[in-house]
Amino acid sequence: MDSRIRKQEKHLLLSNILIFSFLFICFGMIIYHMTKTTIYFQVDNVIEQIFQNKDITEDKRIRQVEKTSRYTIRIVRWSDDGKILNDETIDDRNMSDSLFKQLSLDKNDLNRFVCKEYKDDDSNVYYRSMTKPYMVKGKKTYVEVLVAITQIHEAAGRFRKSLFFYLIIFTLLSFIISYYLAKLAMKPIIRSWRSQQRFVEDASHELRTPLTVIQAKLEQLFTHPRHTIIEESENIAISLNEVRRLEQLIKDLSFLAKSDSSALVIHEELHDIHQFIDQAVSPYCEIAEMKDRHLTIENHTPHLKLWFDSQKIHQLLVILIDNAMKYTEDEGQIVVVSKTTPKHWIIEVKDNGIGASDEDKQHLFDRFYRVDSSRSRETGGTGLGLSIAQWIVNSHDGTITALDNSPKGLIIRVVLPLQTEERNN
């Protein structure tokens, strides 16, 4: 595999890993934030309700709130200089001395919820707290409400650890998914790269062959400088045939290059399909007779007007008829069938020529593919006609398939939708 493809594959892999990791981390942070907010929601509501008591600065009211609440609550009144004003009430609630000594007023935390951690004997205890300022008898005091949330905090910690563990699992999983997606994304790129490489190799080979023949014939002319044109007419004719073949090859390559770059545009117009088939195919009946083939038309289509690109469909018919003539022996039969169903317009070109094997039919529409390369070279084929035919059919939202004819030969079937209204291109 080309080093550029490997580099592109690594780039895709790294990009996918970074994207997935970023998404997982953001998703985890959102879940944790929402869960944490939900966990503390009820506790915060309790604190807000306590502060709605107008007499919360009175010791009697403080004792009542602490005793009636279903949570373990501590309410502390602070002086402006940070001293506890209701230390006796706190003692009544059996707060340990070690925890009591750790209490302090932080004026930076006024009017907002904070989580506080204290050391109580050999364990840590956690409180959800809010502090608000009050004026009592002309003096500024502060009331701090502390709600014990040790169990809640520990549950949140366990959830955080579990979330972190699963984030690691999902990140590792993202490596596997990213590798698979990178491989999957590279498949069409590799296929396109190999197809392009094969196309360039085949095109250079096809161009080289006629040029080699022309060069050889021209050099041969120099070996007989006194010969007349009539004497060298055979070499000149061969050279002209190769020039024509080269010209057709260049036209076909130009057509496919434009189709690949979406430079070709379908110009749809309203046409009578019965009349169109007769006018497009009839001239080739005489050409077939000149080549000792018999071309007949079975036009079963009604006089129905459809929207399609007449030039492209005409080119399609020419390619299919020309292909049938190349692979049909002298006195062979070629039949062009046109018919309709309630939803489709079907065109079939049948011949009783050499046919194609099942393997050949799988590659029949590949560029530069030939069932019989020697016959194609003799008849001036480039191996691009059926590829062009496939593009024309696909551009009309149709399908083209190769089928076996009975008792021998090949059927190229084209199925187009009955386009009674103009498409919005």
Phi-psi region of 411 (alpha: psi -120 to 50; beta: other; left: phi over 0): beta
Which of 132, 139, 148 lies closest to 56 in space, CA to CA? 132
Instruction: Look at the pTM and tell me if it is higher than 0.75.
Output: no
Neighbours of 159 (CB within 10 A): 15
Give the max Cα distance, the chain: 135
| pLDDT at residue 424 tops 60 | no
pLDDT of residue 2: 63
Mean pLDDT of 167-179: 84
Higher-confidence residue of 119 and 263: namely 119
pLDDT in tens, 40-99: 888 889 899 888 888 888 888 888 888 887 888 888 889 988 888 887 766 545 466 677
**Going from the N-terminus, what domains does the chain have, and what CATH number goes with each?**
14-157 (3.30.450), 269-417 (3.30.565.10)
pLDDT of residue 371: 67
Backbone φ, ψ for residue 106 (5° rounding): -120, 105
pLDDT in tens, 246-258: 887 787 777 777 7
pLDDT in tens, 278-334: 999 998 888 888 888 999 999 999 988 999 999 889 989 988 998 888 888 888 899
Which of 399, 230, 412, 396 lies closest to 319 in space, CA to CA? 412
**Average confidence score pLDDT of the chain:** 83
Higher-confidence residue of 235 and 320: namely 320
| pLDDT at residue 335 tops 90 | yes
